[in-house]
Amino acid sequence: MKAERPKFIGARIQRFEDTRLLSGTARYIDDIVLPNMLHLNFLRAETAHATILDIDTSALADLDFPTWVFTGKDTAGLSMKAHQDVPEMQYSEQPFLAEGKVRFVGEPVAVILAEDPYKAEDAAELVFVDYDPLPVVGTMEQARDPEMPPLFDGWKGNVIVERQMKGGDLAAARAAAAHIITRTYRTQRQAGVPMEGRGVVAHYNPADRVLTVWSSTQMPHLVRTYISEELGLPESRIRVVAPDVGGGFGVKGQVYADEILIAWLAMKTGRPVKWIEDRREHLIASIHARDHEHTLEAYVSADGRLLGLKADITVDNGAYSTYPFTSAGEPGMVGKVLPGPYDFQAYEATFRAVATNKCAIGTYRGVARPSAVFSQERLMDDIAAELGIDPFEFRLKNIIRQFPYKNVLGFTYDEGSYAQSLEQMRELLAEDIAEAEVSKSSATRRVGVGIACFIEQTAHGTPDFTRRRTPIETGYIAARVDMSPDGEITIDLGLQSHGQGLETTMAQVAADALGMKPENVYVRHGDTMTTPYSVGTWGSRGGALGGGAVHIAATRIADKLRTIAAHLLQSKPDQIDLVDGRAQVRDNPGSFIEIKKIARIAQRNVEQMPDGMTPGLEAHASCDGPRDGTYANAVHAAVVEIDILTGKTKLRRFVVIEDCGTMLNPLVVDGQVRGGVVQGIGSAMLEHFIYDSECQPLTTNFADYLMPLAPEIPNIEVHHIETPTPLTPLGAKGLGEGGAIGPAAAIANAVGNALGTGVAETPLNTNAVWKLSQHIRETA
C-alpha cells in the first residue's frame, strides 16, 4: 500500500509550454531554416478528373534563376499504399505526383523548386499541363452507379469497400416492433483546419547517410517508418522531428505523400528542401472529413423500448485512401459505434466508402463519431417525437445502467455515468425547457433545447487496431523516464504535443510517482532521435495511455530509489515513501535522504549502492489500450433562439456534462472540452466544403469556409463526473475528442425542438434554418 496520495495529478496546474508559445520563441515548421535550402511549390491539378496529355516545362529554361522540376515520370512507382487487408476492399495507391491521370482538384502534378519561395511560385506559373477531361464522379449516387467509369484501372465500379457488422436477431426485433421508424441523416464535408497549415523540411547528409525530416505532424515515428519502407533507407538513419505544431485535430494524423516526396527530393537534389503549405492548398488538398449519409431503421416496442437498429452507411471518401487509417476507417467506425449508450440486442449495419473526384477523407477530431452521434441522437429525438415521449424519458428508458455491459456487437463497456449525467442535465436545463415550451406559440421567435447523449470508445490499443486490419497495426504508447545525477527528471515521450499540454500533464504524472515537483520534470517529444517508438498523438489516447506509460516508467525508477534509500537508511523498500523530494521511512519521517542525493549516488557515488545493483536511474515503459478501449461518456445540451422570419439562429447556451475518468489536469481538460465543442459548433452551424457538379472546390479560403469566431460563440459550461476506469494505470479515459462529438446532434435537436420538425442535415446555417422554419411562416 502506498502512503503518498497524488498531489499533482488532478491539480489545476498552469502549463509549462505556455511561456515559449506566448513569447514568440516557439519554433514551428516555417521557422526551420537551413543553409542552401530550396523552396518547393506544388503545381496542382485544376481539373477534377482528366488524363494528363503533356506537361510542358520548357519555359523554365528562359528564367534568369535556377529551378528544378519533377513530375510523375520522375517519381514513378513511389506511392502511398493505404489498404485494408480484406477481400471486400478494392486496392488503390496514391502516386506521389500524378501518373497519367489526375483524380481531384489539388492533386500534385509537378513540383518546382527554386532558391526563394516567391520565385518557386513564379516558376510554377510557367509550367503548362495539357489535360483531356474524363467524366467526373461527383456524388455518392454517381459513385454507386455501375455505369460510371471507375477511378482506378481494374476496379469494378467506385464502391471502395462495403462490409457488414451484426449482432442479435434483427428479424425478431422487427417482428416484435410496434413502431418502425426510418430516417436518413446527412453530415457534410468538413475538416480540422488547424491555424498552422502543414509543412515539411528535409535534409540529407550523404556523408553519414542520415536523412532528417521536419514535419508538422502528429505522428513522427510513422512518418519515419513510411519513409524507410518507401525509400529503402534504414530507420536508424532517419530522424523525423515534429517541431512546435500549430494544431492538428487529425489533419496532421496521417502520413502524407508529400512528407516522403520531400525527403526524396532532398536526396535527389542534394540540397535541403522546404515546403510550407498555403491556405488554399490546405483547404483543397490536405484531407477532408465527415461527408456521411446514414439511413437508420429503428424497431421500438409499444412501451418505448428500443428492440433493434438497422443501418445503411455511405461515406463519400474522395479519390484516395489515406495512411494509416484507410478509406475503410470512417464507415467502419460508424458501424461500430452506432449502438452507443443504449441497451438493445439486435443490430445490423452495412457500411461502405465510395470514391469520388474529391479530396480524400481522413481523420478529424471524433473521426466518424460526430456523424454517427448526429444520426443516433437525431433518431432518438425522432423516435421520441413519433411516440409522443419526452426525449429525456425515452433516453432514460433505454440507457445502459449495468456495468460492465456487453453490447450487441460484443464490445464490453466499462463503468460510466450515463443515466446520472442525463438526469443532471435535465435539471440544469429546466428553465430553458420551460421557456422553449412557451415559445412554441410564437410565429416569430422560437427557443429550442436539444441534447446529445453519447459514449466514446477511447484509449484504443493494439487489440482494436489488429482487428481493423489496416496499416496502423499497433497502438501502444511508450515513454522513457530518466533521473539525472542532480535529481532532475527527463521524460522522452513517444507522443507529440500540439496543444494538449502534455509537457505539463506528463510532468504531473512523473512528479507524483517520484515524490518530486512537476517543475523538476522536463518533457521532450516529437523527435524520433530522442523519443521511443509510438504511433503518435490522436484518438483520445494521450492522457490515458501516455500517462500510463509515464506512470509505469517513473514507478520503476521510484522502486529503485526506494531500494537504495532502504539500503542507506537501514529500512525496507516497502517502508520508504517518496514525498516532497525526500525518501523517508514511513513510521519515522525524521529518517530520510533527499531524492537528489540518491540520484547522485545511483550515478556518481555508485559504491554506496546496494551490492550488485546496476547504476543509473532510467526506465522505459509502454502502455497499450485495453481490449475494447475504455468508454468515456458525455451529455451535451444546446439552447438556441431562432428568428423565424430570417432563420438567424443564436446559440444561447451550451452545456457539457462529461466523464473522462481521472482528470490529470482540470485546466487542460476544460480547455480540451471547450475547444472541441466550439469545433463541433462550427460543424453544426457553419462548416461545409462545397464542390460544384464538376467537382471544383468552391470553399478555398476563410471567407468561404467559415469557422466559428468569438462573437457567435457562448461560454461553454462544463461539468464533470469522474468515474475512474480500472482499465488504465491512472484511471483516466480519453477526452481529447469528446467535445467535438456532441454539438452537431445537440444543436440539430435544439433547432428541431424549436421548430417542431425533424432535422436531417448539417450545417444548420441561417439559410438552412430559414428553410426548416417555412411551415411556421406559412401557417402564421
Partner 1 sequence: MIDITLEVNGASKTLSVEPRRLLADVLRHEFGMSGVHIGCAHGACGCCTVHLDGTPRLSCLTFAVQCDGASIRTVESLGGSEADHVLQQAFKSEHGLQCGYCTPGFLMTLAPFVEEMVAQKRMPEEGEIREAMSGNICRCTGYQGIVAAVRKAVTVGLDAGAA
Nearest distance from C-beta of residue 495 to ligand FES, angstroms: 17
From CA 323, how far away is CA 109, in angstroms rounded?
A: 20
Residue 15: name its binding partner from partner 1, ligand FES, none (Cβ under 5 to 8 Å by kind). partner 1
Three-state secondary structure call for residue 661? strand
Interaction between residue 678 and partner 1 (CB under 8 A): yes
CA-nearest of 292, 301, 303, 437 to 376 is: 292
Of the pair 33, 195, the CB lying nearest ligand FES is at: 195
From CA 319, how far away is CA 131, in angstroms rounded?
A: 18
| DSSP run (H or E) holding 577 | strand 576-579
Q: Which residues pair with 71 in a beta bridge?
A: 110
Of the pair 247, 573, the CB lying nearest ligand FES is at: 247
| DSSP run (H or E) holding 5 | none
Three-state secondary structure call for residue 639? strand
Of the pair 671, 758, the CB lying nearest partner 1 is at: 671
Question: Biggest alpha carbon distance in the chain?
Answer: 91
Q: Considering only residues 466-505, where is the footprint of ligand FES by CB under 6 A?
A: 499
Nearest distance from C-beta of residue 190 to ligand FES, angstroms: 17
Q: Considering only residues 549-588, where is the footprint of ligand FES by CB under 6 A?
A: none
Among 614, 693, 701, 779, which residue interacts with partner 1 (rule: CB under 8 A)? 701
From CA 720, how far away is CA 700, in angstroms rounded?
A: 38
- Provide the 8-state DSSP code for 203: E
Interaction between residue 117 and ligand FES (CB under 6 A): no
Among 7, 20, 179, 620, which residue interacts with partner 1 (rule: CB under 8 A)? 20
Nearest distance from C-beta of residue 271 to partner 1, angstroms: 18
Interaction between residue 667 and partner 1 (CB under 8 A): yes
Cell numbers at 289, concatenated: 472529413
Of the pair 666, 671, the CB lying nearest ligand FES is at: 671
Interaction between residue 308 and partner 1 (CB under 8 A): no
Nearest distance from C-beta of residue 340 to partner 1, angstroms: 25
Angle between helices 547-569 and 595-603 (to 10 degrees): 90
Among 677, 732, 755, 772, which residue interacts with partner 1 (rule: CB under 8 A)? 677
- Provide the 8-state DSSP code for 664: S
Nearest distance from C-beta of residue 187 to partner 1, angstroms: 19
Cell numbers at 627, concatenated: 481490449
Of the pair 499, 629, the CB lying nearest ligand FES is at: 499
Q: Is 671 exposed, middle or buried (0-12, 13-18, 19+ CB in 10 A)?
A: middle
Nearest distance from C-beta of residue 682 to partner 1, angstroms: 9
Nearest distance from C-beta of residue 342 to ligand FES, angstroms: 35
Q: Are 429 and 639 in contact (CB under 8 A)?
A: yes
Cell numbers at 46, concatenated: 485544376
- Provide the 8-state DSSP code for 528: T
From CA 90, how far away is CA 109, in angstroms rounded?
A: 24
Amino acid at 272: P
Nearest distance from C-beta of residue 148 to partner 1, angstroms: 36
Of the pair 10, 194, the CB lying nearest ligand FES is at: 194
Interaction between residue 197 and ligand FES (CB under 6 A): no
| Contact stretch for partner 1 (CB under 8 A) within 407-415, 552-560, 565-573, 664-672 | 664-672
* Cα three-residue angle 525-530-535, rounded to 5 degrees: 60
Nearest distance from C-beta of residue 407 to ligand FES, angstroms: 36
Nearest distance from C-beta of residue 520 to partner 1, angstroms: 20
Interaction between residue 389 and partner 1 (CB under 8 A): no
Cα–Cα distance list, 61 to 64, 67, 273 (Å): 8, 8, 21
Interaction between residue 708 and ligand FES (CB under 6 A): no
| DSSP run (H or E) holding 477 | strand 477-483
Interaction between residue 195 and ligand FES (CB under 6 A): yes
For ligand FES, the nearest residue by Cβ is 195
Q: Considering only residues 230-249, where is the footprint of ligand FES by CB under 6 A?
A: 247
Q: Are 42 and 280 in contact (CB under 8 A)?
A: no
Nearest distance from C-beta of residue 450 to partner 1, angstroms: 19
Q: What is the CA radius of gyration of the chain?
A: 28
Q: Considering only residues 81-120, where is the footprint of partner 1 by CB under 8 A?
A: 118
Interaction between residue 76 and partner 1 (CB under 8 A): no
Residue 172: name its binding partner from ligand FES, partner 1, none (Cβ under 5 to 8 Å by kind). none
Angle between helices 369-387 and 326-337 (to 10 degrees): 30
Interaction between residue 702 and partner 1 (CB under 8 A): yes
Three-state secondary structure call for residue 148? coil
The DSSP string of 243-305 is -B-S--TTTTSSB-HHHHHHHHHHHHHSS-EEEE--HHHHHHHS-BEEEEEEEEEEEE-TTS-
Residue 667: name its binding partner from ligand FES, partner 1, none (Cβ under 5 to 8 Å by kind). partner 1
Cα first-last separation, the chain: 70
Of the pair 30, 343, the CB lying nearest partner 1 is at: 30
Q: Considering only residues 569-628, where is the footprint of partner 1 by CB under 8 A?
A: none
Interaction between residue 65 and partner 1 (CB under 8 A): no
| Contact stretch for partner 1 (CB under 8 A) within 309-317, 367-375, 642-650, 708-716 | 708-716
Binding site for partner 1 (CB under 8 A): 14-15, 17-28, 30-31, 33, 118, 192-197, 244-249, 278-279, 498-501, 667-668, 670-671, 674-679, 701-703, 707-711, 713, 715-716
Binding site for ligand FES (CB under 6 A): 195, 247, 499
